[in-house]
């Protein structure tokens, strides 16, 4: 291993430690309560090192959000989805990682952090959309465009359809649970809700023979 490769490995390791520590502290203490110095201490790096990687708390929060998106791989192109599958199954596969992200407890708690502090920190409002929604929307629209190219659905703008589909999933698995903390969505109920969302989207598509 060259010296430069070694140094790069060390830098990446410190960055990962900072992001993981920041996520824990944001979840435990909220956006305002998570001090940059405390995050540096938790990550076992100096405050100067933290600021070399992240200029301020907002850029660090952005990195935490991006890390979760990458973890669930919801931004990758849907190249792994067989375009010949029935639409119901294709949508199920293309949505799987986004659904997993939305059902994850840490994602739910990140949304709680954002919503509880957005009035004091308006810059957080856009994080609601970047936390999975925008990357998945691009992935979903790309899949539908492929279906249109293959002559299976009408070639129209899929933006509104994608937004409605994402809105249903986000409501059931995030916002309904935020405003009703006792809500328990079992796997059976989740499957039923997701089936309804797919049926709604398919119903809005103009299918072609």
Q: Structurally, how many domains does the chain consist of? A: 2
Residues 91 and 25 in one domain: no
Residues 95 and 184 in one domain: yes
Q: Tell me, yes or no, whether 197 lies in a domain.
A: yes
More confident residue, 14 or 127: 14
Residues 110 and 196 in one domain: yes
Residues 51 and 95 in one domain: no
| Rounded to 5°, angle at Cα 102 from 96 and 106 | 130
In angstroms, the CA 82 to CA 172 distance is: 28
What is the chain's Cα-based Rg? 20
| Cα separations in angstroms, 172 against 34, 131, 145, 194 | 29, 16, 26, 9
Q: Tell me, yes or no, whether 81 lies in a domain.
A: yes
Residues 86 and 188 in one domain: yes
What is the per-residue pLDDT across 7-25, written as a single tens digit (0 to 9) for each? 677 888 899 999 999 999 9
Residues 17 and 80 in one domain: no
Answer yes or no: is pLDDT of 3 > 70. no
Q: Tell me, yes or no, whether 108 lies in a domain.
A: yes
Q: Tell me, yes or no, whether 98 lies in a domain.
A: yes
Residues 188 and 92 in one domain: yes
Spatial neighbors of 67 by CB under 8 A, at least 6 apart, are 19, 23
Q: Specify the DSSP element, H or E, that contains 65.
A: helix 57-72
Residues 50 and 79 in one domain: no
Residues 80 and 172 in one domain: yes
Structural domain harbouring 25: 3-55
Q: Tell me, yes or no, whether 122 lies in a domain.
A: yes
Q: Tell me, yes or no, whether 49 lies in a domain.
A: yes
Residues 112 and 197 in one domain: yes
What is the per-residue pLDDT across 163-198, written as a single tens digit (0 to 9) for each? 999 999 999 999 899 888 778 899 999 999 999 999
Of 160, 156, 167, 159, the C-alpha closest to 132 is: 167
pTM for this one?
Answer: 0.81
Q: Tell me, yes or no, whether 68 lies in a domain.
A: no
In angstroms, the CA 99 to CA 132 distance is: 10
Spatial neighbors of 24 by CB under 8 A, at least 6 apart, are 42
Residue 7 φ/ψ, nearest 5 degrees: -65, -40
Residues 166 and 97 in one domain: yes
CATH number at residue 46: 1.10.10.60
Burial class (CB in 10 A: 0-12, 13-18, 19+), 133: buried
Tokens read off for 15: 């960055």
Burial class (CB in 10 A: 0-12, 13-18, 19+), 75: middle
- How many other CB atoms are there within 10 angstroms of residue 12's CB atom? 10
Give 153's strand partners.
Answer: 207
CATH number at residue 97: 1.10.357
What is the pLDDT, as a whole number, of residue 190? Answer: 95
Residues 102 and 47 in one domain: no
Q: Tell me, yes or no, whether 157 lies in a domain.
A: yes
What is the pLDDT, as a whole number, of residue 74? Answer: 72
What is the per-residue pLDDT across 30-89, written as a single tens digit (0 to 9) for each? 999 999 999 999 999 999 999 999 999 999 998 998 888 887 777 677 778 898 999 999
């Amino acid at each position: 291993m060259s010296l430069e490769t070694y140094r790069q490995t060390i830098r990446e390791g410190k960055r990962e430690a900072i992001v993981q520590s920041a996520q824990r502290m944001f979840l435990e203490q909220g956006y305002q309560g998570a001090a940059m110095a405390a995050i540096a201490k938790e990550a076992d790096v100096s405050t100067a090192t933290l600021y070399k990687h992240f200029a301020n708390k907002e850029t660090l929060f952005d990195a935490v959000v991006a890390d979760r998106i990458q973890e669930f791989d919801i931004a990758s192109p849907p190249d792994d989805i067989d375009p010949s599958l029935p639409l119901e199954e294709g949508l199920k596969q293309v949505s799987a990682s986004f659904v997993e992200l939305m059902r994850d407890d840490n994602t739910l708690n990140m949304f709680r952090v954002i919503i509880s502090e957005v009035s004091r920190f308006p810059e957080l409002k856009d994080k609601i959309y970047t936390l999975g929604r925008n990357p998945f929307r691009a992935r979903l629209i790309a899949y539908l465009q492929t279906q249109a190219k293959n002559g299976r659905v009408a070639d129209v703008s899929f933006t509104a359809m994608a937004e409605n589909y994402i809105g249903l999933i986000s409501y059931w698995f995030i916002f309904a649970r935020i405003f009703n903390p006792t809500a328990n969505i079992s796997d059976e109920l989740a499957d039923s809700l997701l089936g309804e969302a797919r049926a709604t989207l398919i119903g809005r598509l103009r299918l072609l023979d």
